[in-house]
Amino acid sequence: MALDGILLSRIIPEIRKELPLRIQKIWDISPNEILFQVHGASGKQQLLISCHSVYNRMLLTKRSYPTPAEPGNFVMLLRKYLEGAVFETVDQPEYDRWCVYSITRRNHLGDLEKLFLYVELMGKYANMILVNAEGRIIDALKRIPPFENSRRIIIPNAVFPVTPSQNKQDPFHSSAIDPAKTLTAQFAGFSPFLSAEVEYRMAHGQSFASVMEEIRDSKMLYIANKNNEPVFHCIELKSIGPCVSYPVFEAFDILYYRREEKERIKQVSGDLYHFARRQLNHYRQKLPRLLKEYDEAKDCGRWNKYGELLYTHQVSDTKGMQSITLEDYETGQLVTVPLDPKLDGKGNARKCYQKYSKLRKGQTYLQEQIRICEEELSYFEGILEQLDQADFTTASEIRDELIRLSYMKDSRSVRRKKKKETAPSVTSVRTPSGVVISYGRNNLQNEQLTWKTAKKDEVWLHAKDYHGSHVVIHDPSPDEDTLRLAAMIAAYYSAGRQSSSVPVVYCPVRNLKKIPGAKPGMVQLGSYKMIYIDPEEETLEKAGIEVR
């Protein structure tokens, strides 16, 4: 659901209260999102501007966002012009879905100059455009060349075409309503969604002026559910049903942070998905070939028999022959022996013995290759499962793991100083009874939790026969509720999260053994017990577990 002009008019005063803001750093956290680290009267803050076609918005946020190692071209330009500059004012003309930031900066000569950052939050046309004092475009997040739109060209050095006025009534200062027209057609800033809500209220006895007064005084965002999709506005949505309310900026974080995080993770770790899927397909194609070769190798005795028959029958002249039929001296049956037409009888016999020896010795090699192939299949299935449930930190650690195991090369700049290796971040939650439960979200976190964080007498859990999280209850004798919650975490953060009655094994950490030479996170179980559990998102959310 996109913003409308009225809702934007409630956001801008909240930002305006913090102005002026000095711009310290600028990042592109995704192709459609720019994050400004700013400093003002309230200290250090973050201004997020999203030009996503669906999730476009503008807010001050305290959330932490990962930043790419290599910034995009537009961010490089913004850094050149805006780092150290000051957001002085922000204005929204006629309650439209765009606003303009007035910015002052000092150029390379030290002279003050004026720039303007236009933020257009118009659904799929959302854009961010930097314009100089002469009204010419310096650059834009999304360029629009003449062949795409000849009436509104957004390219560097072109004259910036300001969005024309819609010549609609100001809804906060006019209440003259034409019943023949929709509110959207009459009043500036009205979306069809807000129009439907106001018309519903008016039909139930509330005046248009009182609704607008309620909007003017609102500092909250009301969220309701419509057809399993969240809808929102700055007044209670009586036409939809029950609402929950939050301060505007907090509400946008609740609505969109997780949704956009998934897209950002795919953009940041898209090469990981591609690599893991490619490896998985490679081993899926390789395994049947190895199994076929192994079946042939197990039948190596027939080649020994062919060689014996050629020697026994003293076959000599076989050149030019593709095969020969000989009587088996043990069974009396006729056996067709394949031949190499270039060799004589003794040469073919030697070749049969050589093939027998090669296949017999190859059985051990093929068994080892099949074992390795099956392990690699299982490993990359687990990697894909972890990527599907990953956050930024987890995805970054998966990349580090693949680099450490030499599956991938480290493409990060060699000029960067190597940071001191930090321990993988294990997630922990405290139950109502005060017991701490920890769980890993990738192989490195599982390794850290099981072998370095957990104590020998604490309880370890894992979904049986599924790739998934290692879970540790930091209590040697947990009660039943704690055990069931830990088992539910293990079941949810596993490949069996969509199943019911997921089997989860548990045992003291001392019953685990590390497998020499195995991949990170692999363990060997001694004696264990089992519990069956249904993963319930609602139960996990109540316990403070992040549900993705």
Q: Which amino acid is at 334?
A: L
DSSP 93: G
Query: Quick check: is 439 in a domain?
Result: yes
Query: Quick check: is 353 in a domain?
Result: yes
Q: What is the dihedral of CA 403, 409, 413, 417, to 10 degrees?
A: 40
Measure the CA–CA gap between 181 and 5, rounded to whole angstroms. 19
What does the pLDDT look like over 242-264, one tens digit per residue?
Answer: 888 888 888 888 787 766 666 66
Query: Quick check: is 205 in a domain?
Result: no
7-21, 143-157, 218-232, 416-430: least confidently modelled range:
416-430
Query: Quick check: is 172 in a domain?
Result: no
Look up the CATH number of the domain holding residue 30: 2.30.310.10
What six digits make up the tokens of 388?
């599907």
Per-residue CA distances from 476 to 1, 452, 454, 458, 472 (Å): 49, 17, 11, 4, 10
- Whether residues 9 and 98 share a domain: the answer is yes
Confidence of residue 414 (pLDDT cuts 50, 70, 90): very low
Confidence of residue 101 (pLDDT cuts 50, 70, 90): very high
Domain boundary among 388, 416, 442: 388
Handedness of CA 427, 429, 434, 436 (dihedral sign): negative
Confidence of residue 425 (pLDDT cuts 50, 70, 90): confident
Measure the CA–CA gap between 92 and 58, rounded to whole angstroms. 13
Domain boundary among 140, 173, 201: 140
Q: How far out from the chain centre does Cα 123 lie?
A: 23
CB burial readout 499-527, b (16+ within 10 A) else e: eeebbbbbbbbeebeeeeeebbbbbeeee
- Whether residues 465 and 367 share a domain: the answer is no
- Whether residues 26 and 126 share a domain: the answer is yes
What six digits make up the tokens of 300?
């190596």
pLDDT of residue 417 exceeding 50? no
Query: Quick check: is 158 in a domain?
Result: no
What does the pLDDT look like over 41-83, one tens digit per residue?
Answer: 888 999 999 998 888 889 998 887 777 767 889 999 999 999 9
Query: Quick check: is 374 in a domain?
Result: yes
Domain boundary among 113, 140, 167: 140
Q: Are 97 and 8 in contact (CB under 8 A)?
A: yes
Measure the CA–CA gap between 19 and 12, rounded to whole angstroms. 11
- Whether residues 468 and 365 share a domain: the answer is no
Nearest in space to 463 (alpha carbons), one of 534, 401, 402, 403: 534
What is the CB neighbour count within 10 angstroms for residue 41? Answer: 10
* Residues contacting residue 350 through CB under 8 Å, at least 6 positions apart: 307
Per-residue CA distances from 292 to 296, 297, 363, 374 (Å): 6, 9, 12, 15
Count of domains observed in the chain: 3
105-119, 381-395, 434-448: least confidently modelled range:
381-395
Measure the CA–CA gap between 339 and 227, rounded to whole angstroms. 73
Measure the CA–CA gap between 510 and 525, rounded to whole angstroms. 10
Query: Quick check: is 415 in a domain?
Result: no
pLDDT of residue 437 exceeding 90? yes
Furthest-apart CA pair in the chain: how many Å? 114
- Whether residues 9 and 136 share a domain: the answer is yes
- Whether residues 120 and 11 share a domain: the answer is yes
Query: Quick check: is 258 in a domain?
Result: no
- Whether residues 470 and 365 share a domain: the answer is no
Measure the CA–CA gap between 503 and 513, rounded to whole angstroms. 21
- Whether residues 349 and 450 share a domain: the answer is no
**The total number of residues written for the chain in this structure:** 548
What is the CB neighbour count within 10 angstroms for residue 319? Answer: 14
Can you give the pLDDT at residue 413? 45
What does the pLDDT look like over 326-354, one tens digit per residue?
Answer: 888 888 889 898 998 899 888 989 999 99
Measure the CA–CA gap between 86 and 22, rounded to whole angstroms. 4
What does the pLDDT look like over 311-329, one tens digit per residue?
Answer: 888 888 888 899 888 888 8
* Residues contacting residue 114 through CB under 8 Å, at least 6 positions apart: 102, 103, 104, 133
Domain limits for position 333: 272-388
- Whether residues 294 and 374 share a domain: the answer is yes
- Whether residues 10 and 131 share a domain: the answer is yes
